[in-house]
Amino acid sequence: MRTSFIIPAHNEEKFIGACIESILRAVTGAEEETEILVVDNASVDRTAEIARQYPGVRVVLEPNKGLTKARQRGFVESSGDFVAYIDADSQIPAHWLATARAEFSRRPDMVCLSGPFRYHDLPWFDKLFAETSWYLFAPITYALVGYMVLGANFIAKRSAIEKIGGFDTAIDFYGEDTNLARRLSKVGKVVFKMNFFIYGSGRRLRDAGIFRTFFVYGLNFFWEVLFHKPFTRKSKDIR
């Protein structure tokens, strides 16, 4: 099970180091079966320079700004049988890769595994509210729809992504992960488990407001499910 970790990054010099270090801790003992790619998505800061300081990390350039474009570039440049996408401002727990491998071994019909955020930089009340919302609504939504992917935290079989033609680079930002989940569900089981979490940044919740952010993401999720396209056509919030 060779796994490629792919980190799309646009101006993430403050976070990229911690993200890479968390992956390195998780793959200790399985280094020969993993690779780490940072996709520099038109950054104008030190993101690429910092990433190159870590042995074994490869930086690839995607000059056309856009999250799905960066995801697709990482997919094309990677070589793993499994591709794991982690946001640059996130950190994975030490058991992340072991959990993923156990789940894929246990469920041969599964093509993608994803899970929720736990926030590493929110004030305690905001953190409590945000994480409680995940635990209240995500399991119900997943049970009703049958698929769900958090774009900041998922691992999928390369063969499955190839079957659906890769990422939809026409989507700017919102709804891109639900689009992927919906299409992947046509070729296998997309699993969302609450114990398969990552430690994510709450900076977007702080900047835009928790209620507004959850509403916009929720609206785009259901719009993609019902109409097969995101509600929000454009976004300035590109990683």
The angle at the Cα of 129, spanning 234 to 205, to the nearest 5 degrees, equals 25
Cβ contact 190:112 at 8 Å: yes
**Residue 233 within any structural domain of the chain:** no
**Per-residue pLDDT reduced to its tens digit, 135-178:** 999 999 999 999 999 999 999 999 999 999 999 999 989 999 99
Tens of pLDDT along 104-125?
A: 999 999 999 999 999 999 999 9
Q: In which band, very low, low, confident or very high, does the pLDDT at 64 lie, cut at 50, 70 and 90?
A: very high
Residues near 18 by beta carbon (within 8 Å), at least 6 away in sequence: 91
pLDDT band (50, 70, 90) for residue 234? low
Q: 235 lies in a domain?
A: no
Location of structure tokens 């209240």: 136
CB burial of residue 222 (10 Å; 0-12, 13-18, 19+): middle
Q: Tell me the pLDDT band of 231, cut-offs 50, 70 and 90.
A: very high
State yes or no: pLDDT of 225 exceeds 60.
yes
Report if residue 113 sits inside a domain: yes
Average pLDDT over residues 30-58: 96
| 193 domain residue, yes or no | yes
Domain of residue 163: give its range: 3-227
Name the 3-class secondary structure at 125: helix
pLDDT the model gives residue 141: 97
pLDDT for 31 = 83
Spatial neighbors of 190 by CB under 8 A, at least 6 apart, are 110, 111, 112, 114, 146, 147, 148, 149, 181, 184
In a domain, 239, yes or no: no
How high is the mean pLDDT of the chain? 95
| Matching residue, tokens 């891109």 | 176
What's the pLDDT at 30?
85
CA dist., res. 78 & res. 92, Å (int): 20
Cβ atoms 40, 211 nearer than 8 A: no
**204 and 138 Cβ atoms separated by less than 8 Å:** no
The CATH number given to whatever domain includes residue 212 is 3.90.550.10
Distance of CA 17 to the CA centre of its chain: 17
Contact 127, 202 (CB under 8 A): yes
Distance, in Å, from the CA atom of 35 to the CA atom of 160, rounded to the nearest integer, reads 19
Q: Measured between alpha carbons, how far is residue 4 from residues 21, 78, 146 in Å?
A: 15, 6, 26
pLDDT bracket for residue 32 (50, 70, 90) = confident
Q: Which whole number is the average pLDDT over 55-69?
A: 97
pLDDT score recorded for residue 235: 53
pLDDT, residue 238, reads 37
Phi-psi region of 209 (alpha: psi -120 to 50; beta: other; left: phi over 0): left
d(CA 63, CA 224): 27
What is the total count of domains within the chain? 1
Q: Is residue 157 part of a domain?
A: yes
Q: Flag whether 232 is in a domain.
A: no
Q: How does pLDDT run across 6-25, given as a tens digit for each residue?
A: 999 999 999 999 999 999 99
Does pLDDT of 56 surpass 70?
Answer: yes
Q: What is the pLDDT of residues 189-220, one digit of tens each?
A: 999 999 999 999 999 999 999 999 999 999 99
Does residue 234 form part of some domain? no
pLDDT of residue 229: 94
